[in-house]
């Protein structure tokens, strides 16, 4: 290993080749060949992947590739017309996946407010967490997950449906520096659940707490049923719920759909049927 590292460092000698070209000295031009030792770096990357816990790096590389390959396939499956609030007729109107009032941290129906406008599967995704009067999402030590208001809060089914996918294997990602997100799992979604509501609408909820699920694949769920708890697994900066509606079961191959909510309360909104929400608003379900 030490010899490999030494050889890899020798690769920087290729710079001497530039001097050879500039001064027209053939012997020095040969130093470009040292650049070949640079390929040893790939071996070190391979070793890192092989030794990593849960093959985290490998998992995320594969996931990124799936995401890239999925983009054109999603476009194709929609006949190059991605869903938007004008061309999409909802089959289901949805509730919010939590009790009480939460803040919409990310998400909206237009480009400016979108969670990830250029990722077609997450174009209409939302992130939610709970804040206090000072708009802080925790009290006390910000590195302690238990200090976050939404941590371990119940997560609810957003409509009736059947659980078609569920992953429950990742521990929480530790809180990093302010403004940074981390991922200690091999899946950016962390622990997640996919519920089929009808033939073309599936809800996805990510970053859930390990071993908190109260349902399994194949279970029928009803609207507002507790399905698990909010955690901090996957790629996340702090505990929150990532929620989206997509056209199919596959996270990578399904277009995101603008969510039409029903019976929810938004500050400053009177009409509550078929409404859309946009980031920075406080929202809650109107429990009937
Ligand atoms: Zn998100």
State the distance from the centre of ligand 1 to the C-alpha of 126, rounded, in angstroms: 6
The 3-state secondary structure of 15-55 reads HHHHHHHHHCCHHHHHHHHHHHHHHHHHHHHHHHHHHCHHH
Distance between CA atoms of residues 74 and 3, nearest Å: 47
pLDDT at position 264 is 92
> Which residues neighbour ligand 1 (ion) by CB within 5 Å?
127, 242
Domain coordinates in residue numbering, the chain: 2-51, 59-285
Contact of 131 with 192, CB cutoff 8 Å? no
State the distance from the centre of ligand 1 to the C-alpha of 278, rounded, in angstroms: 14
Tokens of 253: 């191959």
Q: Which of 182, 239, 185, 227 is nearest to 203 (CA)?
A: 227
Q: Within its chain, how far is the Cα of 13 from the centroid?
A: 41
In angstroms, how far is the first alpha carbon of the chain from the final one? Answer: 65
State the distance from the centre of ligand 1 to the C-alpha of 241, rounded, in angstroms: 7
State the distance from the centre of ligand 1 to the C-alpha of 268, rounded, in angstroms: 24
State the distance from the centre of ligand 1 to the C-alpha of 20, rounded, in angstroms: 52
State the distance from the centre of ligand 1 to the C-alpha of 125, rounded, in angstroms: 6
Which pTM does this prediction carry? Answer: 0.80
State the distance from the centre of ligand 1 to the C-alpha of 42, rounded, in angstroms: 31
State the distance from the centre of ligand 1 to the C-alpha of 29, rounded, in angstroms: 51
Q: Which residue has the tokens 């996957």?
A: 234
**One digit per residue, pLDDT tens: the chain, 288 residues?**
788 888 888 888 888 888 888 888 888 888 888 888 888 877 777 777 666 656 677 788 888 889 899 999 999 999 999 999 999 999 999 999 999 999 999 999 999 999 999 999 999 999 999 999 999 999 999 999 999 999 999 999 999 999 999 999 999 999 998 888 888 888 999 999 999 999 999 999 999 999 999 999 999 999 999 999 999 999 999 999 999 999 999 999 999 999 999 999 887 555 566 689 999 999 999 987
Tokens of 202: 């599936």
Helix axis angle for 2-10 and 40-51, nearest 10°, is 140
- Tell me the CATH class for 59-285: mainly beta
State the distance from the centre of ligand 1 to the C-alpha of 134, rounded, in angstroms: 23
State the distance from the centre of ligand 1 to the C-alpha of 13, rounded, in angstroms: 44
pLDDT at position 2 is 81
pLDDT at position 47 is 72
């Amino acid at each position: 290993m030490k010899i490999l590292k030494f050889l890899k460092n020798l690769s920087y000698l290729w710079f001497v080749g530039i001097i050879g070209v500039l001064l027209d000295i053939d012997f020095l031009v040969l130093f470009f060949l040292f650049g070949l030792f640079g390929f040893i770096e790939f071996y070190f990357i391979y070793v890192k992947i092989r030794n990593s816990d849960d093959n985290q790096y490998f998992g995320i590389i594969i996931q990124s590739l799936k995401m890239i390959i999925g983009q054109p396939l999603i476009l194709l499956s929609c006949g190059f017309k991605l869903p938007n609030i004008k061309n999409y007729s909802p089959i289901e109107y949805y509730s919010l996946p939590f009790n009480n009032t939460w803040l919409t941290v990310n998400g909206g129906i237009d480009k400016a407010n979108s969670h990830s406008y250029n990722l077609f599967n997450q174009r209409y995704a939302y992130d939610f967490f709970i804040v206090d009067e000072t708009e802080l999402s925790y009290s006390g030590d910000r590195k302690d997950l238990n200090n976050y208001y939404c941590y371990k809060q119940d997560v609810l089914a957003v409509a009736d449906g059947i659980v078609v996918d569920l992953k429950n294997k990742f521990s929480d990602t530790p809180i990093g520096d302010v403004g940074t997100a981390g991922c200690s799992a091999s899946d950016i979604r962390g622990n997640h659940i996919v519920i089929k509501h009808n033939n073309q609408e599936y809800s996805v909820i990510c970053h859930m707490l390990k071993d908190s699920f109260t349902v399994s694949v194949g279970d029928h769920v009803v609207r507002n049923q507790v399905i698990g708890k909010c955690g901090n697994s996957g790629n996340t900066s702090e505990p929150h719920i990532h929620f989206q509606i997509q056209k199919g079961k596959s996270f990578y191959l399904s277009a995101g759909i603008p969510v039409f909510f029903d019976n929810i309360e938004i500050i400053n909104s009177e009409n509550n049927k078929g409404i859309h929400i946009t980031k920075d608003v406080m929202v809650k379900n109107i429990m009937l």
